[in-house]
Amino acid sequence: MTIKLPKIIGHRGACGYAPENTLESINTAAEMGVEWVELDVKLTADNVPVIFHDDTLDRTTNGHGPMAQTLYEDLKQLEAGSWFSDGFTGIKIPTLEETIELLIELDLGLNLEIKPCPGREKETAEIALDLLSHYWDAHDRLLISSFEHVSLETALDMATDWNRGLLLPEEWPENWRDLAEYLDVTTININGNTVTREEVEQIIDLDKPVLAYTINDPQTARKLQGWGIDTMFTDVPDVLQDSLLTVH
pLDDT at res. 236: 97
Count of residues making up the chain: 248
What is the C-alpha to C-alpha distance for residues 138 and 149, in angstroms, rounded to an integer?
24
81 inside domain: yes
Residue 200 belongs to a domain:
yes
Helix, strand or coil for residue 233? strand
Q: What is the pLDDT of residue 191?
A: 98
Asked if the structure places residue 109 within a domain, the reply is: yes
Closest CA to 109 of 143, 67, 151: 143
| CB neighbour list of residue 239: distance below 8 Å, 6 or more residues apart | 16, 216, 218
What does the pLDDT average to over 101-117? 98
Annotated catalytic residue: which of 53, 64, 149, 248? 53
> Helix 237-244 vs helix 218-227: angle between axes, to the nearest 10 degrees?
50
Q: What is the pLDDT of residue 30?
A: 98
Q: Identify the pLDDT of residue 246.
A: 52
> Does residue 31 belong to any structural domain of this protein?
yes
Q: Do residues 81 and 20 lie in contact, with contact meaning Cβ atoms separated by under 8 Å?
A: no
Tens of pLDDT, residues 125-163: 999 999 999 999 989 999 999 999 999 999 999 999 999
List the one residue out of 237, 234, 192 whose CA is nearest residue 210: 192
Q: What is the mean pLDDT of residues 191-196?
A: 97
| Predicted TM-score (pTM) of this structure | 0.97
Q: Is residue 1 part of a domain?
A: no
**Distance between CA atoms of 223 and 218, rounded to whole angstroms?**
9
For 106, other C-beta atoms within 10 Å of its C-beta total 14
Q: Is residue 3 assigned to a domain?
A: no
Give the CATH number of the domain where residue 141 resides.
3.20.20.190
d(CA 49, CA 129): 10
CA distances from 83 to 60, 199, 201, 214 (A): 6, 37, 40, 21
- Model pLDDT, residue 248: 42
Question: What average pLDDT does the chain have?
Answer: 96
Q: Check if 11 is active-site.
A: yes
**Enclosing H/E stretch for 124:** helix 121-133
Longest dimension (CA), the chain: 49
Q: What is the pLDDT of residues 27-58, one digit of tens each?
A: 999 999 999 999 999 999 999 999 999 999 99
The secondary structure of 157-202, three-state, reads HHCCCCEEEEECCCCCCCCHHHHHHHCCCCEEEEECCCCCHHHHHH
- Does residue 56 fall inside a structural domain? yes
Looking at the 3D structure of the chain, how many domains does it have?
A: 1
Active site (annotated) includes residue 149? no
The verdict on residue 2 lying in a domain is: no
Domain housing 194:
8-244
